[in-house]
Chain A
Amino acid sequence: MDSALATLRLMAAEPSFALAQALTGLASASSLFLVAAGLSIVFGVTRVVNFAHGSFFMVGAYLAVTAIGWLGGGAAGFWGGVVVAVLGVGLLGVLVEVAILRRLYAAPELFQLLATFGVVLVIQDGALFLWGPEDLLGPRAPGLRGAVEIFGQRIPTYDLFLIAVGPVVLVLLWLAFRRTRWGVLVRAATADREMTAALGVDERRLFTGVFALGALLAGLGGALQVPRETANLHMDLNVIAEAFVVVVVGGMGSVVGAYLAALVIGVVHAFGILLFPKLTLVLVFLIMAVVLVIRPAGLLGERGAASRQGAPEAPLRPASARLRWTAAALFAALLALPAVAGGYVLVLAVDVAILALFAASLHLLLGPGGMISFGHAAYFGIGAYGAGLAWKWLAAPMVLGLAVAPLAAGIAGAAFGWLCARASGVYLAMLTLAYAQIAWSVAAQWLAVTGGDNGVLGLWPAPWAASPAAYYYLSLVLCGGGILALRLLVHAPFGQFLRAGRDAPRRAEALGVAVGAQQWLAFIVAGAFAGLAGGLFAYAKGSVFPTYLAIPRSVDGLVMVLLGGVQSLSGPVVGALAYVGLADELARGVALWRLVLGAAIIVLAVAFRRGLAGAVGDAAARP
């Protein structure tokens, strides 16, 4: 706080300093705009939120470094390299569209998001393989290396160039959309997709073209970033989280909105770093919250697009005698496990139990709630930090820590869910992801409290639960109990009305049901159970790290639910089992495991949408 005040005083005394900071913010806004504009255009026409858009940005940066290296120094080499990078990324975009997205246009959003996340993983390992793990320092732009003095402040010339790029691209896009036949088609498709299809427009070519344009813009953003920052393997997820915020604030499908939002976010970022260096993302989050409360569809957006649900679910049936007996037998077998299995198996079994509860809590939102939560790791991680920090700062015993975990995560669920209940479909997915990213950044940056990347170390279960077998039983009881409680809730009026509100919200409201409140409560419940899983995980591992809240952990949850099948209550358990087995094998046996996992996710999203439990159910139902 003191430093924030000091900075403010400095800016008041020296306004030119504030100006310099604003210009830095505007320069970052340009590349953010390039990424967000592509994302927004692609969404407008195809209704697909492309998670891999940040990967295009990253590949653009890497390709530019490499191509400029090949072409040699000098202006021709630099700009030639940028052009090569942009074209290369455009080609990559076409490849992704034709090979994967084309098969997913009619699928529920969740599968599109997941498939494109699979692409993220594949590209991550691809980049690691091609360019190695080290950050790559790119060349400075020839002719733009110096700085210009404005009101006594030295502003890098390249920043001024970047500031100009934003409006220039904006105007070019505007001209392309207004003055070319192709642009008119794109606008028509954005406004009314069925209409354009009815007019006999070749949708396939239009979609491929739009996707290529989006990729080109992201690639350009990445390539132009080379003189400002090193190309690294974290660029993809960093930029996509911010681009999601920009697109949501600007309004999905609106390029001008994306520009305005990028300016706001860029400038807030630049000042935020000076004033509250630890909390820049929290500031961004607050802006987004304010905008969404006032304008739920963003600054210039139309109403949020209705969410596409898959085929209606079958009614829930009470557990059959066979299922009850199977569950009882399974439980008995699990009770006997410590007698026959060694420590390693018990540790794995604890992981499976915890992840099954995590997946089951996510399933409450995804399945019965019909709400895409793409940042569910936030609750898991907040639960883990709740337990960890209670131990670190209050010396709380394990039992108290395990009570704090669901409480803290439930409160987070209340806070995030309150805002999320205003959004639906892809907006919701992007918001939940952005929240999780913010929670992650707080955990990683608030060194004094969380220990930053070093995490919280040295947690130890209470003496009575310290042996592997004892901790296994504790996890079994808490996770099994949690999963059972979630199952009962889904069959109760609470869960049935969650499904009802998803099926026919207007009907539910007219019957006197507060659908929004119901969904909000679901966020709280799901958050609390995920938090319990996180707390158990913290004591199982003895430590808490920011990775517990990171995007990959959220995707783990989604993959587990999808492996098991969204429409099946036993899905999360089956999914967790399959996933832990798969991940364990992969991590030990395969060098490029992200690539394999990514490919598996893509195949899952494209070909096996009903999951393992669904596929098994089909096989069982077949005469």
Chain B
Amino acid sequence: MTLLAVDGIARSFGATVAVDGVSFGVAAGERVAMIGPNGAGKTTCFNLINGQIAPDRGRVAIDGRDTTGRSPRALQRLGVGRTFQISQVFASLTVRENVQAALVAGQGRALSPWPPLRRREAAAADRLLDQVGLAGEAERGAAALAYGDAKRLELAMVLGQGPRLLLMDEPTAGMGIDERHALMELVSGVVRGRGVGLLFTEHDMDVVFGHADRIVVLHRGRVIAAGTPAAVRADPAVREVYLGAEAPPCA
């Protein structure tokens, strides 16, 4: 049984059809990249899977259990972790407290009145920050982080909750080329080590072709190709519509 099964989901905003009958799956331990030009509907797909918005039609299932229209909170309990395209961190908490908050929330203790957050799970939080390369920033306010660092922090928060399915919307935006690969290596390690399913979007084709086991290509809200990197690279529809007819992608 696949970890994530998406079956014919669709969503319109007024006259704009953002997602138009998309189906694909992600297995445990598999890394799937969703690519497509700006406005193809990638973020909307993420929002539909993650319960941020409800689909007009279609089904989303996790472990064979129908989760269509469930709230982000319900999905978190089923083991879905998500990072946002425009990274969302808690600006008025320190970097370490952001991770501590994620850990405490993961234990379902967000309402606890004592002791202070800063005294909870500090060691575990520091380990996670070390993993994503933010050890030196732990004491700073999260509002002061550079764009790429905020993305790293979000990743640390989500990893801290031990998700089984990881949804990452442009995880490496705002980073240098080496940093991108290092970050994706880290994520790949988690995927392999814990058998997590990964779905990510990315505009950097090097990252996509270097770190995806399978690729789903979206164009105007529809899947125009899906398969191994090699198959997608060779797909004429992809080359025509998405990558431009002339240049072969990622020579």
Contact = CB atoms under 8 A, between A and B. Distances in A.
Interface stretch (B7-15, B116-124, B210-218, B234-242): B116-124
A504 interface: yes
A315 B117 contact: no
Contacts of A521: 111
Contact of B108 (A314, A502, A512, A518): A512
Contacts of B71: 509
Nearest to B81: A510
A315 B141 contact: yes
A315 B88 contact: no
A512 B157 CA distance: 12
A514 interface: yes
- Tell me the dominant secondary structure on chain A's binding face: helix
B112 A499 contact: no
Interface residues on A, range: 20 to 34
A504 B108 CA distance: 18
A533 to B, nearest CB: 20
Q: Sorted from nearest, which 10 A-B pairs have the closest CB atoms?
A: A507-B88, A512-B76, A313-B92, A312-B91, A491-B116, A504-B88, A500-B90, A312-B143, A496-B117, A315-B94
Given A314-B141, A507-B84, A513 B91 contact: no
14 contacts: A318-B116, A489-B113, A492-B112, A492-B117, A493-B120, A494-B112, A500-B92, A503-B89, A504-B91, A506-B52, A510-B76, A510-B82, A511-B106, A512-B73
B192 to A, nearest CB: 24
Contacts of B113: 488-489, 492-494
Contacts of A492: 112-117
A508 B101 CA distance: 9
Contacts of B81: 510
A510 B111 contact: no
Most A CB contacts (10 A, CB to CB) among B50, B90, B105, B114 go to B90
Given A492-B116, A493-B109, A513-B110, A503 B92 contact: yes
Interface string A499-533: 11011101111111110001001000000000000
A497 interface: yes
A504 B89 contact: yes
Interface in A288-317: 312-316
Interface of A: 312-316, 318, 488-489, 491-494, 496-497, 499-500, 502-504, 506-514, 518, 521
B102 interface: yes
B161 interface: yes
B133 to A, nearest CB: 20
B77 interface: yes
Given A315-B93, A499-B90, A499-B93, A509 B110 contact: no
A482 B223 CA distance: 58
Contact of A496 (B73, B77, B101, B154): B101
A315 B93 CA distance: 5
A507 B90 contact: yes
B97 interface: yes
B72 interface: yes
Given A497-B105, A509-B72, A521-B111, A503 B117 contact: no
A518 B111 contact: yes
A496 B52 contact: no
Given A510-B50, A510-B76, A513-B73, A312 B112 contact: no
Nearest to B108: A512
A503 B101 CA distance: 13
A512 B106 contact: yes
Given A493-B104, A499-B92, A513-B105, 5 more contacts: A312-B143, A492-B115, A494-B111, A510-B76, A512-B73
Interface string B140-154: 011100000000001
